């Protein structure tokens, strides 16, 4: 592995990370990467450069506090192959540049920025100063691929990852919605694509079983699923619906869902955006998968489990048995992952 001399990870003064863009799903998905980046480069000024915009600088900006120091949105880098010869939008040097994408002309453009060292997966790491060993097995999970780039430059990150802080006002309101006392389990029965949903009757049966164990179900119901609230209230008396609590401002916020998750002992979710919101809160999480690839997209949490319909001979989420969900959730609650 080629390791050019620049600065040690502990003292690197400046690190730039390049990404094409991040929409809301990308942002939640990549939050664990931001935590690992800061752990690897604790004193660096970290600049996040994007071709277009990034949700990290806007809707998710409160979550990047202490992790990213500066954003360079709409940089122009990566817009077209002409960038390989056109003047760069800025030219200050960086100790290290990490390229998170693999389109070669974007990488060649980015590499023109002054730097001490450069890491990129483009062209099978041909343009990278840091290269994996010959025995490398390409990680399947996207977060693992991005973390690999960080660790190629910095070595294994052995320190505890820094936390993500949800705004205090949202935490206070989540406490009003889910008061001290009960042990809550967050249940998210929805998904943007209903084919990913475990049957609602199964979530009802799961909630009833959890009540029998002394837990209080907290159903997290999104704006496209509000017709489920009334039947769920009728089927599971005593369950709470924190997203529908009166303490919130109108509308829905992903940061609010994170604050709610932080009040819960564990969560169960379908393969959907809300699972990554729960994952960003880093609570024990059981995620249910039907037709999609869990090895590539599952939320990265400290304590997590996955159940796949394929393990039960089907591509339909409904094939996952209720008893398997309850058993795996109890394992998470007992600290077994």
Q: What integer best gives the mean pLDDT of the chain? A: 93
The pLDDT value recorded for residue 300 is 87
Dihedral of alpha carbons 61, 65, 68, 71, sign: positive
Q: For the segment 115-166, what is each residue's pLDDT rounded down to a tens digit? A: 999 999 999 999 999 999 989 999 999 999 999 999 999 999 888 889 888 9
pLDDT at 72 over 90: yes
Mean pLDDT value across residues 267-274: 94
Q: For the segment 215-261, what is each residue's pLDDT rounded down to a tens digit? A: 999 999 998 899 999 999 999 999 999 999 999 988 888 999 999 99
d(CA 146, CA 304): 20
The pLDDT value recorded for residue 2 is 44
The pLDDT value recorded for residue 8 is 59
Give the containing element (helix H, strand E) for 260.
helix 254-261
The pLDDT value recorded for residue 292 is 84
- Domains in the chain, ordered, with CATH? 14-154 (3.40.50.2000), 168-333 (3.40.50.2000)
Report yes or no: 111 and 88 within 8 Å, Cβ to Cβ: no
pLDDT at 6 over 70: no
Mean pLDDT is lowest, of 61-65, 208-212, 252-256, for: 252-256
Q: For the segment 23-53, what is each residue's pLDDT rounded down to a tens digit? A: 988 899 899 999 999 999 999 999 999 999 9
The pLDDT value recorded for residue 82 is 92
pTM of the model: 0.86
pLDDT at 93 over 70: yes
R_g over Cα of the chain: 22
The pLDDT value recorded for residue 9 is 62
Q: Residue 5: which pLDDT band, with cuts at 50, 70 and 90?
A: very low
Report yes or no: 44 and 12 within 8 Å, Cβ to Cβ: yes
Mean pLDDT value across residues 103-112: 97
pLDDT at 3 over 70: no
Q: Which residues pair with 48 in a beta bridge?
A: 17, 71
Torsion angle of C-alpha atoms 318, 270, 284, 299, degrees rounded to 10: 130
% of the chain surpassing 70 pLDDT: 97
Q: Residue 1: which pLDDT band, with cuts at 50, 70 and 90?
A: very low
């Amino acid at each position: 592995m080629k390791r050019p001399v620049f600065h040690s990870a502990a003292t690197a003064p400046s690190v730039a990370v390049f990404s094409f863009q991040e929409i809301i799903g990308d942002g939640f998905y990549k939050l664990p990467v931001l935590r690992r980046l800061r752990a690897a480069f604790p004193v660096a000024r970290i600049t996040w450069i994007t071709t277009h915009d990034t949700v990290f600088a806007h809707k998710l900006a409160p979550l990047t506090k202490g992790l990213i120091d500066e954003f360079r949105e709409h940089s122009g880098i990566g817009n077209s192959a002409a960038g390989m010869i056109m003047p760069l939008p800025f030219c200050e040097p960086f100790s290290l540049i990490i390229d998170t994408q693999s389109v070669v002309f974007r990488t060649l453009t980015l590499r023109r920025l002054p730097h001490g060292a450069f890491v990129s997966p483009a062209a099978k790491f041909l343009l990278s100063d840091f290269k994996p060993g010959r025995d490398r097995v390409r990680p399947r999970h996207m977060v693992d691929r991005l973390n690999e780039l960080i660790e190629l430059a910095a070595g294994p990150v052995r320190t505890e990852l820094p936390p993500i802080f949800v705004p205090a006002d949202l935490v206070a309101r989540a406490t009003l919605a889910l008061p001290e006392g009960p042990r809550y389990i967050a249940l998210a029965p929805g998904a943007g694509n209903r084919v990913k949903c475990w049957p609602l009757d199964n979530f009802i049966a799961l909630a009833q079983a959890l009540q029998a164990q002394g837990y209080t179900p907290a159903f997290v119901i999104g704006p496209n699923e509000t017709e489920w609230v009334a039947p769920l209230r009728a089927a599971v008396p005593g369950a709470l619906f924190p997203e529908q609590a009166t303490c919130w401002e109108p509308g829905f916020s992903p940061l609010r869902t994170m604050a709610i998750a932080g009040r819960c002992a564990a969560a169960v979710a379908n393969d959907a955006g809300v699972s990554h919101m729960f994952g960003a809160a880093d609570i024990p999480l059981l995620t249910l998968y039907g037709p999609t690839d869990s090895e590539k997209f599952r939320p990265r949490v400290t304590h997590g489990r996955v159940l796949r319909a394929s393990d039960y001979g089907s591509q339909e989420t409904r094939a996952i048995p209720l008893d398997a969900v309850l058993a795996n959730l109890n394992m998470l609650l007992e600290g077994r992952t």
